[in-house]
Structure 1
Amino acid sequence: MSLRAVLGSFAPITATLVIALALGACSSSTSLINSRTQGYEISDSAQAQVRPGQSQKLVSLVLGSPQSTNTFGDQSAWYYVQTKISQTAFGLKMIDSRTVLAVYFDKNKKVVDKAVYSLKDGKTVTIETRRTPSFGEDRTFIDSILQSF
């Protein structure tokens, strides 16, 4: 048997192995999904340190500045939002969990209560996509020129 015949018989096997290795590297699901946290990292120990009667300054030292605030009358609330998401290599984002820590203050800027909300507590709001037409908006530039004559 010649050397050319021996090498020729291994070529299909070698090509099959190369293709199998390339496809096997592409099908690894752990490398395609990246998990991360957006917003605050709300730890249980930090939540335990916030108690009724504490000042806003102490809360800001423990948790940091809030992501969002709300004032209604004499009471106010600070919101800390933590969102854990998974993102695929193709840019598709999926929300795994969302936690909102709400700290409520009275008129003296002292903690009255705190609450932890999750995705189960949220409500879906439908955004209205229709627009109210205004005069002149639907005309094109040429329509406006012809209208002026």
Structure 2
Amino acid sequence: MPLRLAKASVAAAVLAVALAGCTSSTSLVTKRTQGYEIPDSALQQIRPGQSQQLVQTVLGSPQSTNTFGDQSAWYYIETKVNQTSFGLTMVQERTVLAVYFDRNKKVTERAVYSLQDGRAINVETRRTPSFGQDKTFIESILESF
């Protein structure tokens, strides 16, 4: 009987350690920021008439740029996500700071866009049919012999 009790105690201890590892102090959902963190103090410093160089000094290099004729824009994107321990990522908040410049590289306007300002765009999944058949790499090599 004592041997059976010892085996049961060891099994209970192993099970307790295994369950303690599963329920550690780390949570199943991690909150993190992807991209650039846009501080409020930096937003207040960007005003019309300032130079492109000053904007880069305050905010750093933009994540994306765009040019429309005489006007250009720099974009700083901040995305706050919740990521589960299983790899599922859920976007909670997105902020896009757009700084617009004129041809003299001076700020003309700045705009802050949120997740609600965005639109979902459906990507076309149809394929254009081609003549013949799609061949794998190995089929192409074997066909050449």
* TM-score interval for Structure 1 and Structure 2 normalised by the shorter chain: 0.7 to 0.9
**Structure-2 separation of matches of 1:115 and 1:133:** 43
The gaps in structure 1 that reach 5 residues or longer are none
- Normalised to the residue count of structure 2, the TM-score between the two structures is 0.79
RMSD: 2.5
Distance 1:10 1:135, change over 3 A: closer
Aligned residues: 138
Residue 59 of structure 1 pairs with residue 36 of structure 2: no
Residue 116 of structure 1 pairs with residue 121 of structure 2: no
**Structure-1 separation of matches of 2:81 and 2:118:** 17
Equivalent residue number for residue 46 of structure 2: 50
AA matched with 2:110: K
AA matched with 1:109: K
**Structure-1 separation of matches of 2:109 and 2:134:** 55
**Structure-2 separation of matches of 1:132 and 1:139:** 12
Greater C-alpha Rg: 1
Distance 1:76 1:139, change over 3 A: closer
**Structure-2 separation of matches of 1:109 and 1:87:** 39
Deviations 1:78-111 (A, max 9, x none): 1001122233333222222211100111222211
Distance 1:139 1:94, change over 3 A: closer
**Structure-1 separation of matches of 2:39 and 2:134:** 56
Q: Secondary structure at the match of 1:25?
A: helix
Equivalent residue number for residue 103 of structure 1: 99
Distance 1:81 1:10, change over 3 A: same
**Structure-2 separation of matches of 1:43 and 1:57:** 18
